[in-house]
Structure 1
């Protein structure tokens, strides 16, 4: 299957469409994903070519490279609402809604894709799992991997733990202490960094900090590691941490449940920029109102923010947070990049009767 392809998910099901040269025509059943695929949750990994989706029947992983869409993993797992794939495509992370009849069930799992290990139930056996009562969208994925997949990282109270993927049974290999930790994000690129967010507490501002994975993690968890970059700000109770692909720049998308200006019923938002070396940290100047979407280009050189009260504005920034292009205003709330950062879709979806450009 040559050329650009687009994977879509609608109430009718999932499907593959051709690119511009095909007038966005449906590929049909020969693509391996058609409208008979009732996907409740879907993930596309541009780096590995894997397409992952969950349905009422379970979880399925297909390899989209060469257009074959061959099944490489399949499991009967009901109520799976969280999906993620490791950077090299070796591991699949799944999260199932907790079952009130089995409160101690291990519903957060890691599978080795391609493994033939089968559990007692006849389904693929996870290589690591734990009970998890909740998984907020802001903090997902709860398990993260470094670029070479040497370690899996997870957050616990005031700490981030690293576990060797070659020895899950060996337990915690090293730790990073971060008091008040709410969420974290591992960077890509060489020499991985970790960003952590701690919300406001006892009058102290919330903050985003960046640490060096190699030097700041240790078996004993240093009590006060020194961050390479830090930005503090008030009026935030949660955040999304968004790295560019090279690990040189980070966006902290902060949320507050209450808008101090009383202009937005859903609370207040702000966007913060940090360079991983600490040379630059600043507030990203945006239009008044909510931030609808923010996405880094896959090559890590630019990001787009859709922001402000409707009609929302869309702005292109470079990797140093300098605005370089204004896409104008319109009924928009979503931005998506093509895998090679050449094409960009800005549109209004969901409950917004918007446009797509």
Structure 2
């Protein structure tokens, strides 16, 4: 509960590893001796008291407070390391290799007693995915997935398997946060026409399907991600297929399921079709945010009944980040989007700021709930590497550009125990800064030169933008719709869109203007062939405009579509020549 605490920021790059003393100044921490060797991996302990890294020569662990060395391990091939929640065990992993002399290979996952420095146990772990055991917060149990079977160990005794959970083929699992009683979510993929399913168990009650706390089965799942809320009362399961057989999405097909330890389960109904980009629980464990739908994507907050609480409308976004205290939510568009961020006060549902961080590959909240860091890192982007520390009101407080010829690989905040930094009232006035802010300017839709001096009509919009709205009854928004009503609404919207498309393709009819403000009828040349050419050219230009919009939203285009875009200038010249002859 110390307000003067300043979190550290670890910076790892081609020029070595350093620790910066946190915002707003981000000065280099003099207590830590910078390691000029290139580190493969850096990590803090869960409580932030320890900092460890591996640099190709050894694994080193120091105290975060004063930089004093706590432990050093002669493990030059180590590629990853993690601390157990209570800092009793250090887990290290190196790539699995085998030689002619040793065809079996050596155990490559090692668990070290942090007090004595002795190796407790060594395992074979060929896959890097899920390499580290999962511990309960009090370290009463630890779990590993071994040959589609979960092995449970108690009190860090890895010589004896205390319990096993064996289903047909457990491919994924997620251990609940917190202390006893621990719960585990397991995923078993479907086979031979049988559905996939997720089950929740409470340790050590693994007697069979009847002993499960909850069960949710579903089809269309090649892989899943399972996310527990902080209070370990429910899990969100995002099920994905590699290919969307309908051809509607390049990203495959995703569905979102809610499974609670009290046995309740549901599919989360998302009002807009398209990919699910991100799912995030609020730290209060009673709400979650989903970013979904074809661009411009929607973002919606749901309660534990899977009912919409607040809809943020549409925008260029594909990620959501709650502050550690849960009072602020950032919606952002990174990757193939332009880096626009929307900062929201989620108690008042009021937008705080709208900064922009172009080319961002990493975003994370500082534990104080006041600051964020955005970074451009290699190998995702090998140019313009560097990072910025912001105040959530949109002000850039610190900026560090990576020198030419060097690369930035990672930035990492020092974590702190929950409750260390209390929630503060949300500010709407931009924090003072010499670097200023980068408020995003409203983007305007592209218009061909032939249409730029003409009034824009509503029908020329590629997308209907939806404003934010509260979904609570009586709050000015719509009431939560039932599943059947939602399905019927989608059908009506599809029919309406089809009718509008048919109207746009039909020849225009001459109508008498209803008032003096009506738009004048389109001029004609008197030559049906010329009119037909003009109409076809405008139709092709409209199609090109739609393709360019899809390209800017990140959708990959085929070769013939790219060739159409390249013909835009030629078509505009032809249209201009024809219209000049009218």
- The TM tier, using the shorter chain, reads 0.7 to 0.9
Structure 1 residues 209 and 333 mapped into 2: Cα distance closer, same or farther (>3 Å)? same
* 1:216-239 superposed Cα distances (whole Å, 9 cap, x missing partner): 2xxxxx465531101111111221
Is 1:18 the equivalent of 2:3?
no
Give the conservation status (yes or no) of the 8 Å contact 1:286–1:307. no
Q: Distance in 2 between matches of 1:273 and 1:290?
A: 17
- Tell whether the 8 Å contact from 2:125 to 2:131 is kept in structure 1 after alignment: no
Distance 1:188 1:307, change over 3 A: same
* Match in the other structure for 2:279: 294
Question: Shift of the alpha carbon at 1:58?
Answer: 4.7
User: How far apart in 2 are the matches of 1:168 and 1:36?
Assistant: 36
* Whole-angstrom CA distance in 2 between matches of 1:329 and 1:15: 39
Contact 1:109 1:129 in 2 (8 A): yes
Greater shift, 203-212 or 322-331, is seen at 322-331
Per the alignment, residue 259 of structure 2 pairs with 274
Q: Do the aligned partners of 1:16 and 1:33 also contact (CA within 8 Å) in 2? A: no
Is the CA contact (8 Å cut-off) linking 1:306 and 1:312 kept in structure 2?
yes
Higher relative contact order (CA 8 A, sep 6+): 2
Q: What's the counterpart of residue 128 of structure 1? A: 121
Are residues 1:182 and 2:145 paired? no
Of 95, 98, 103, 1:97 maps to: 95
Contact 1:200–1:235 under 8 Å retained in 2: no
Equivalent in the alignment of 1:219: none
Alpha carbons 2:163, 2:204 under 8 Å: kept: no
> What secondary structure does 2:341 align onto?
coil
Residues 1:160 and 1:100: Cα distance change in structure 2 (over 3 Å): same
Partners of 2:229 and 2:98 lie apart in 1 by 39
Secondary structure of the 1:127 match is strand
Contact kept in structure 1, 2:255 and 2:267, CA below 8 Å: no
Spell out the pairing of 1:319-334 with structure 2 (5 A cutoff): 319-334=304-319
Q: How does 1:120-159 map to 2 (within 5 A)?
A: 125-136=118-129, 140=130, 142-159=132-149
* Correspondence for 1:227: 212
Check whether the contact 1:249–1:275 (CA below 8 A) recurs between aligned residues: yes
1:275/1:281 contact within 8 Å kept = no
Residue equivalent to 2:226:
241
Count how many residue pairs are aligned between Structure 1 and Structure 2. 334
Distance (whole Å) between structure 2 residues aligned to residue 41 and residue 250 of structure 1 = 29
**Corresponding residue of 2:293:** 308
Listed one character per residue, the Cα deviations across residues 235-276 of structure 1 (whole Å, up to 9, x for unaligned) are: 112212211121101111222222222233342222211111
Secondary structure class of the residue paired with 2:30? helix
Q: Aligned equivalents of 1:131 and 1:311: distance in 2?
A: 45
TM-score normalised to structure 1 length = 0.78
In the TM superposition, what whole-angstrom CA distance separates every residue of 1:122-150 from its partner, at most 9, and x where no partner exists?
A: xxx432221122133xxx25511223212
**How has the CA–CA distance of structure 1 residues 44 and 261 changed in structure 2, closer, same or farther, with 3 Å as cutoff?**
farther
- 1:294–1:51 distance in 2 versus 1, CA, 3 Å: farther
Displacement of 1:155 after TM fit?
Answer: 1.8
Q: Deviations over 1:34-67 (max 9, x none)?
A: 7968554444555555555444455444554xx5
- Does 1:162 find its partner at 2:164? no
Partner secondary structure for residue 153 of structure 1? strand
Query: Post-superposition shift, 1:71?
Result: 4.8
Decide whether the 8 Å contact of 1:160 with 1:178 is kept in 2.
Answer: no
Q: C-alpha separation between the residues in 2 aligned to 1:270 and 1:2? A: 44
Consecutive unaligned residues of structure 2, counting only runs of 5 or more, are 343-582
CA contact 2:57–2:77 (8 Å) conserved in 1: no
Cα distance in 2, alignment partners of residues 291 and 283 from structure 1? 11
**Is the 1:228–1:276 Cα contact (8 Å) retained in structure 2?**
yes
Q: Tell me the SS of whatever aligns to 2:237.
A: strand
Alpha-carbon distance between aligned partners in 2 of 1:33 and 1:185, rounded to the nearest angstrom: 37
More strand by share: 1
1:206 pairs with 2:196: yes
Larger Rg computed on CA atoms: 2
Whichever structure has more helix as a proportion of its residues is 2
